[in-house]
Amino acid sequence: MATKAAAAAAQVALLDELKAAAEKVGMHVREERLLREVGYRVRSGRCRLENDQILFLDRTLPIPAQIDVLIDELAGHSLDEIYLSPVARALVERAAAKEPRDGGREAPRE
């Protein structure tokens, strides 16, 4: 039992560390209950509101899924000036290595 509690506490600590890193790179992290309706699907992610970068995290997601969202968003930022634990840095660097150079957002023009 103590091992499960320790693993859960480690995940919560990692989540908090990644949220703090996202704030340091200029994203305002908001934990919201993202409602889903028929006809559209809302998911966690970053958006821009005027000059502000907001990262919405669906608080109903399991902690590992929230961690994945944060890792994916942080992978596109330079984190050289931000302290991250070795575990967090390794996860973000691994995600950054998998990401295409253009971020996969735009198709090449012909």
C-alpha atoms less than 13 angstroms from C-alpha of 95 in its C-beta half-sphere:
19
Query: What does the pLDDT look like over 39-56, one tens digit per residue?
Result: 666 667 777 778 888 888
Position 36 scores a pLDDT of 67
Architecture of domain 10-97: 2-Layer Sandwich (3.30)
Give yes or no for a contact between 33 and 44, defined as CB atoms under 8 angstroms apart.
Answer: no
Could you tell me the end-to-end alpha-carbon distance of the chain, in angstroms, rounded to an integer? Answer: 58
Position 2 scores a pLDDT of 67
Query: What does the pLDDT look like over 48-81, one tens digit per residue?
Result: 778 888 888 888 889 999 999 999 999 988 888 9
Q: Which distant-in-sequence residues (6+ apart) come within 8 Å of 79 by Cβ?
A: 21, 25, 89, 92
Give yes or no for a contact between 21 and 78, defined as CB atoms under 8 angstroms apart.
Answer: no
Position 104 scores a pLDDT of 47
- Residue 106 predicted with pLDDT over 70: no
Give yes or no for a contact between 42 and 69, defined as CB atoms under 8 angstroms apart.
Answer: no
